[in-house]
Amino acid sequence: MRDCLKSLAVLSCVALLPVACKVVKTPDPEAASAVAQTDEARMAVYAADIWDAKVLPMAKESAVPLQELKAEIAANGLDAVGNAYGLRPEGEANPWNFVSSGEGVIIEANTQSRAAKLAVDIDGNGAADLVVQLGPVVRGTALRDAMPFIIFSDFRDQIEFAKLARALNDLASQSVTLPEGDLVGRRVEFEGVYTLRNAGDAIELVPTKLQVH
């Protein structure tokens, strides 16, 4: 009887061995998302997975110089320009998202607020042509909605989908590094995504690239 128990114990140890091995396996993205339980954590992992591999290349590829885009909207209207350069999910009420790049002078910098912002003048007339959202509070879902490979139907529900938008905004905010000192008057190069509901609306760009000189 004792022998029998002993051999059983040995057997079960042997049986457990491969399981134990699995736990110490080198982590891969799949294992990471399996560990991450909440929507928030899972979407943060997914956002990090696609950020360098897909989001940044897509932004770079779709970027149109901001002044060019503004001129075209003034000439041909938002929908025409949206059809040519815009990105948006299918569906009637979805506004256009655009990716734009450019260079200008910082005329206002609010870096104290939780919703930190830079106002940038491109054409040198002293008025802001766009606002760059620095976060950590970033408005909207432009970054998510501009990515054609992100499709709402692939997600469980709006909660999961919203957490993805938040995770992408967080990555945009985290990837910004600002130099010390007063930013007003300095030149800035930018590339980023924004939503435009109406032709005349203020541009609130979520940066995918930002370089203050």
Partner 1 sequence: MKLNRRHFMSGVTATAVLPLARPAFAAEKGLMAIITPSHDNPFFKAEAVGAEARAIDLGYETLIMVHDDDPNKQSELFDTAIARGVNAIILDNAGADATVAAVQRAKDAGIPSFLIDREIKESGIAISQIVSNNYQGAQLGAEEFVRLMGEAGNYVELVGREADTNAGIRSSGYHDIIDQYPDLVMVAQQSANWSQTEGYEKMETILQANPDIKGVICGNDTMAMGAWAALETAGRTDVIVVGFDGSNDVRDSILAGGIKATVLQPAFRQAQIAVEQADQFLTVGSTGQNEKQLMDCVLITAENAAKLETFALSA
Within the chain, what is the greatest distance between any pair of CA atoms? Answer: 94
202 binds partner 1 (CB under 8 A): no
Please report how close the Cβ of residue 189 comes to partner 1 at its closest, in angstroms: 27
197 binds partner 1 (CB under 8 A): yes
Report the residue from 30, 61, 90, 180 that binds partner 1 according to the rule CB under 8 A: 90
Please report how close the Cβ of residue 187 comes to partner 1 at its closest, in angstroms: 29
CB atoms under 10 Å from CB of 81, counted, come to 23
Structure tokens at 114: 């939780």
SS3 category, 191: strand
Cα distance between residue 119 and residue 98, in whole Å: 18
Q: Measured from the CB atom, is 122 or 164 closer to partner 1?
A: 164
Q: Give the x-and-dash track for 97-136 against partner 1 (CB under 8 A).
A: -----------------xx--------------------x
Report the residue from 30, 61, 157, 182 that binds partner 1 according to the rule CB under 8 A: 157
# residues near partner 1 by CB under 8 A = 29
Are 123 and 107 in contact by the 8 Å Cβ rule? The answer is no
148 binds partner 1 (CB under 8 A): no
Question: How far, CA to CA in Å, does 60 sit from each of 35, 57, 99?
Answer: 32, 5, 8
Structure tokens at 32: 């990471």
Question: How far, CA to CA in Å, does 156 sit from each of 145, 151, 159, 163?
Answer: 16, 11, 8, 11
37 binds partner 1 (CB under 8 A): no
The full DSSP string for 109-136 is EE-SSSEEEEEEESSSSSS-SEEEEEEE
Please report how close the Cβ of residue 99 comes to partner 1 at its closest, in angstroms: 19
Please report how close the Cβ of residue 178 comes to partner 1 at its closest, in angstroms: 19
List binders of partner 1 among 60-89 (CB under 8 A).
89
How many degrees, rounded to 5, is the angle at CA 26 between CA 20 and CA 32? Answer: 95
137 binds partner 1 (CB under 8 A): yes
Residues of this chain that bind partner 1 (CB under 8 A): 89-95, 114-115, 136-137, 139-141, 151-159, 161-163, 165-166, 197
